[in-house]
């Protein structure tokens, strides 16, 4: 007897409707704002204690949560079409570098 194949949907091709899309974008902004606030707190900890690890934690949060938002806003502000895949690669790379900075800062 054959086992059923379980499909995992990673992404959908359809866009959410207007109100749902707006709510999701607002939710994304809240996450980015919290990340930038955490980066600010870590930077204050770096300045107050002259702690090099806190500098990397702060930089990591800026890269992982702040920069993707800035890159996306610049993308939407400029009249560029057909750059979805390179943009996603750039954003993912910046996020990974940010997470590596956080890991490095916590390991010091």
CA separation for the pair 46, 61 (Å, rounded) = 14
pLDDT tens digits for 18-50?
Answer: 788 788 888 888 888 898 898 899 889 889 999
The reported pLDDT for the residue numbered 63 is 93
Q: Indicate the pTM of the whole model.
A: 0.72
The domain spans of the chain are 20-107
pLDDT tens digits for 62-94?
Answer: 999 889 888 888 888 887 777 788 888 999 999
- Look at 20 and 4; give whichever has higher pLDDT: 20
pLDDT band at 7 (very low <50, low <70, confident <90, very high): low
Q: Would you say residue 59 has pLDDT above 90?
A: yes
Long-range contacts of 34-40 (CB under 8 A, 24+ apart): 34/65, 35/61, 35/62, 35/64, 35/65, 35/66, 36/61, 36/62, 36/65, 36/66, 38/65, 39/65, 39/66
pLDDT band at 9 (very low <50, low <70, confident <90, very high): low
CB count, 10 Å around CB of 41?
14
The reported pLDDT for the residue numbered 11 is 59
């Amino acid at each position: 007897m054959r086992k059923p194949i379980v499909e995992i949907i990673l992404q959908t091709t359809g866009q959410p409707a207007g109100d749902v899309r707006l709510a999701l974008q607002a939710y994304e902004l809240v996450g980015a704002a919290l990340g930038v606030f955490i980066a600010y707190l870590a930077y204050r900890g770096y300045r107050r204690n002259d702690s090099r690890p806190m500098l990397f934690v702060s930089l990591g949060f800026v890269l992982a949560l702040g920069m993707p938002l800035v890159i996306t806003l610049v993308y939407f502000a400029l009249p560029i079409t057909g750059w979805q895949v390179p943009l996603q690669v750039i954003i993912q790379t910046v996020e990974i570098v940010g997470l590596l900075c956080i890991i490095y800062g916590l390991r010091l």
